[in-house]
Amino acid sequence: MSMEWGVRMRVTIFGSSHGPEVGARISGIPAGTPLDLEQIQADLDRRRPVGRRLATRRQEEDRLVIDSGIVQGRSDGGEIRAHVANTDVQRGPYDRLRYTPRPGHADYPARIRYGEEADLSGGGIFSGRMTVGLVIAGSIARQLLGPRGIQVAGFTQSIGGVEATVPESWSIPELRARRDLHEVGTPDPAVAEAMAEAIGAARREGDSLGGIVEVRATGLPVGLGEPFFDSIESVVAHAGFSVPAVKGVEFGAGFRAARMRGSEHNDPFHWVGDRVETRTNHSGGILGGLATGMPLRVRFAVKPTSSIARPQATVDLRDHTDTTVTVTGRHDPCIVPRAVVALESVTAMALADLALRGGFLP
Ligand SMILES: Cc1cc2nc3c(=O)[nH]c(=O)nc-3n(C[C@H](O)[C@H](O)[C@H](O)COP(=O)(O)O)c2cc1C
């Protein structure tokens, strides 16, 4: 099992869905870095379920507790340990799933790999609750990057095929302000309600929806990134795939690039005062694994929630028969709105680690 990530900013996440707590241990944050605990709490609050029609009915308060490493609002240079308690735990529905793995969830390979002892209740370490630790670490990463002029924001780009239009010219504060106006987390007011209705309709049909989260970052110093193996793409993708339910990632034009010509895809350079910019940004702000100084654009495909309220074909691991399973318990009919802050967080972690490695931060 690998619960650790990062080179200079080291993040270890711990806990499980129905254990006593979830959280993170973070090392490599320079001593004296100002860290606003209210900001970390505000980021955790963005991860919590929103309106009843859109999200799980599991209600966790997610009160941040700092165990070490932050003294009077500053990093003390040692390991930061932070957690939140799990309080709303209902094991019953999961006891029934012990030998009949849910299609689309981690139950089957995890039971085979980790055996009878593995606590998969509530999804165990495969639960969306593990993103609490990522959000704590990501909030700290954003607070490291902010004073260096690097800003990061994620938003809902699409849900169930309903697509947002989000101009590249919108600044990060503008994106954030617009995104936070609607519970689905999209900055495009024209489609927000249609996304919410699509989620509600899927839930009523005992089904679920997927979608796309986009993360943008501005102010990246030209040359940030550690090619070969730790290009910006590699490190962001590595961190992004640690968020459960993420099944795809693309940068800039992404898979569309495969259908474009060089004359179309190349982003022409020009001077803007004493800065080199590009007129388009098909590269998503990355060339050769290094930042170009243009906004980073990365999109994550989030699959539809696997735990749906319909009978599904599965197996009984005790008697080797085929059977059906009906998943009960409390589940998100669409993970996307709650994955926004998690994906923003892991992108910030990746950029902070690369910035520390490249000497772009003190
Ligand atoms: C914020 C968040 C909330 C999630 N909520 C649920 C949920 O309520 N029900 C569920 O079946 N999966 C949920 N997931 C996804 C599962 O954890 C994930 O699908 C599972 O671990 C299998 O991993 P994979 O989808 O990456 O292959 C959630 C994921 C995130 C990021």
Task: Give the chain's length.
Answer: 362
Q: Which atom of ligand 1 is nearest to the CA of 247?
A: 26
Ligand 1 pocket, residue 307 CB under 6 Å: yes
Nearest Cα residue to 331 out of 95, 43, 51, 122: 122
The predicted-structure confidence for 143-167, as pLDDT tens digits, reads as follows 999 999 999 999 999 999 999 999 9
| Residue 167, pLDDT score | 96
User: Is 321 among the domain residues?
Assistant: yes
Question: What is the residue whose two structure tokens read 């039971």?
Answer: 111
User: Is 122 among the domain residues?
Assistant: yes
Q: How is 42-108 classified by DSSP, letter by letter?
A: HHHHHHS--STTTS-S-------EEEESEETTEE-SS-EEEEEE------HHHHTTTTSPPTTSSHH
94 C-alpha to center of ligand 1: Å?
A: 15
Residue 164 near residue 186, CB atoms below 8 Å: yes
156 C-alpha to center of ligand 1: Å?
A: 17
Ligand 1 pocket, residue 28 CB under 6 Å: no
Nearest-angstrom CA–CA distance, 362 and 357: 10
Ligand 1 pocket, residue 48 CB under 6 Å: no
User: Is 251 among the domain residues?
Assistant: yes
Nearest-angstrom CA–CA distance, 282 and 296: 10
Residue 75 near residue 29, CB atoms below 8 Å: yes
Ligand 1 pocket, residue 334 CB under 6 Å: no
Residue 329's pLDDT band, with cuts at 50, 70 and 90, is confident
Ligand 1 pocket, residue 94 CB under 6 Å: no
Ligand 1 pocket, residue 335 CB under 6 Å: yes
- Reply yes or no on whether the pLDDT at 278 is more than 70: yes
124 C-alpha to center of ligand 1: Å?
A: 11
Mean pLDDT of the chain: 94
Q: Which atom of ligand 1 is nearest to the CA of 56?
A: 8
The predicted-structure confidence for 113-132, as pLDDT tens digits, reads as follows 999 888 888 888 999 999 99
Residue 32 near residue 75, CB atoms below 8 Å: yes
Ligand 1 pocket, residue 123 CB under 6 Å: yes
User: Is 274 among the domain residues?
Assistant: yes
The closest residue, in CA terms, to atom 4 on ligand 1 is 128
Ligand 1 pocket, residue 131 CB under 6 Å: yes
Q: Which atom of ligand 1 is nearest to the CA of 303?
A: 25
Give the mean model confidence (pLDDT) for residues 197-204.
Answer: 95
What domain range includes position 269?
Answer: 4-357
The closest residue, in CA terms, to atom 7 on ligand 1 is 331
Give the mean model confidence (pLDDT) for residues 178-194.
Answer: 96
User: Is 47 among the domain residues?
Assistant: yes
Ligand 1 pocket, residue 331 CB under 6 Å: yes
CA 325 centroid distance within chain: 29
Residue 303 near residue 270, CB atoms below 8 Å: no
Beta strands per DSSP E along the chain: 4-5, 10-15, 21-27, 65-68, 70-71, 74-75, 80-85, 151-159, 162-163, 211-218, 246-251, 269-272, 275-278, 286-287, 290-291, 296-302, 311-316, 321-326
- Reply yes or no on whether the pLDDT at 49 is more than 70: no
User: Is 50 among the domain residues?
Assistant: yes
Ligand 1 pocket, residue 106 CB under 6 Å: yes
User: Is 362 among the domain residues?
Assistant: no
What CATH number is attached to the domain comprising 298? 3.60.150.10
302 C-alpha to center of ligand 1: Å?
A: 9
| Residue 51, pLDDT score | 60
> How many structural domains compose the chain?
1
Q: Over pLDDT 70: what percentage of the chain?
A: 96
Pocket residue to mutate for ligand 1, from 62, 126, 306, most atoms within 8 A of Cβ: 306
| Residue 138, pLDDT score | 98
Give the mean model confidence (pLDDT) for residues 198-205.
Answer: 95
User: Is 72 among the domain residues?
Assistant: yes
Ligand 1 pocket, residue 231 CB under 6 Å: no
